[in-house]
Amino acid sequence: MLPLFYNQRMIKGLTVVKPVGSAAAWERLGTLFSELGFEPGKGWDDGTGRGVSFLAPLGNAEFVTGRLPAVPELLIECTQLDIVHGIVKRWLSAELRTEDIGGRLSGVAETHWKSRLFTVDLGDGLVFGFWEREDVLAGRPIAIEGDLSAAGMKFGIVVARWNAVITDRLLQGSLDAIVRSGGRLDDVQIVRAPGAWEIPAAARMLADLRDDNGKRKFDAIITLGCLLRGETAHYEAIYNEAARGIGQSQQDTGVPHAFGVLTCETLEQALNRAGIKAGNKGFEAAVAAIEMVSIARKIGHAAAGKHEGSGVAAGKLAQVDVDRASEGFQK
């Protein structure tokens, strides 16, 4: 059984699959959603049908018992609803005669559920609702978060040989997390360092490795070790330098380093944290590494203007000048 914190992050999103009446309607729908700022997903064509997904940062399913509310089956939450309404109106103006638009596009109206809504009928049974909360910040994604999919990621794992009865369990936990998250053992390089003191140096060596194209070979480094308190100050000296060195390697290289070095008072405490009672800290370190790689990629995409996590009409809507847009909508 997976740890509870891991299960809570396994559900990533929801896909609504809806048939379209004709190929022409399918093409028109694609142009509208692209203009609204949805990012096209990977399409498919099996000879008997074809489809394409449009990606939004958040989604949910709502189930109703009794009378259904008078809203379309598919509701799209957005920000800057008036601008979205204008974009849809402009798109309809290019597709329909002006006198036909009124029967297809409603005005923006208040709802009883603290929001504003408009609907658009594209024909062929395709009716959509676009809505905006009264409190525009409620439910709005304001943070980039990582996903727990290790597919395509490469990891370097540095594991201390000292206290191997513990560190071997931590290593198995890390490998388990990577495989369960879609990663491949072929994409993992394991380095066994003599002890915790040597972990930072080995981690830095892995973080600095590059492939033939000059790209860093590993997306993240996972550090695993175990220190047990003794009768002298040796424990504190080793722990402090190991933690400092791992952090320094991460800061200097920009490669995420997950910290899975246990610092325990007794062997029993260490065993409990290596999969006996208190979870497996090696598993947790690998999960943190996976999430940090995902975050790094999303931040990189956001910097390149490709991140979709800032609202349905991200990018395009933010750049629309309201006055200029209004002129275009009055065509």
- Residues of the binding site for (2S)-2-hydroxy-3-oxobutyl phosphate: 231-232, 273
* 234 catalytically annotated: yes
Q: What is the SS3 assignment for 225?
A: strand
Q: What is the SS3 assignment for 2?
A: coil
> Exposed, middle or buried by CB within 10 Å (0-12, 13-18, 19+), for 279?
middle
* Cα–Cα nearest to 257, from 247, 265, 267: 247
- CA–CA gap between residue 182 and residue 149 (Å, rounded): 6
Q: List the binding residues.
A: 162, 196-198, 226-228, 231-232, 259, 273
- CA–CA gap between residue 104 and residue 106 (Å, rounded): 7
- CA–CA gap between residue 317 and residue 311 (Å, rounded): 9
Q: Which of 85, 112, 234, 257 is catalytic?
A: 234
* Cα–Cα nearest to 148, from 8, 257, 287: 287
Q: Helices 164-180 and 281-303: crossing angle, nearest 10°?
A: 40
Q: List the binding residues for 5-amino-6-(D-ribitylamino)uracil.
A: 162, 196-198, 226-228, 259
Beta strands in the chain (DSSP E): 39-40, 44-45, 50-51, 54-55, 74-77, 109-110, 115-121, 127-133, 155-160, 188-193, 220-228, 257-264
| Residue 115 bridge partners (DSSP) | 133
Tokens of 288: 């943190």
- CA–CA gap between residue 195 and residue 232 (Å, rounded): 17
* Residues labelled catalytic: 234
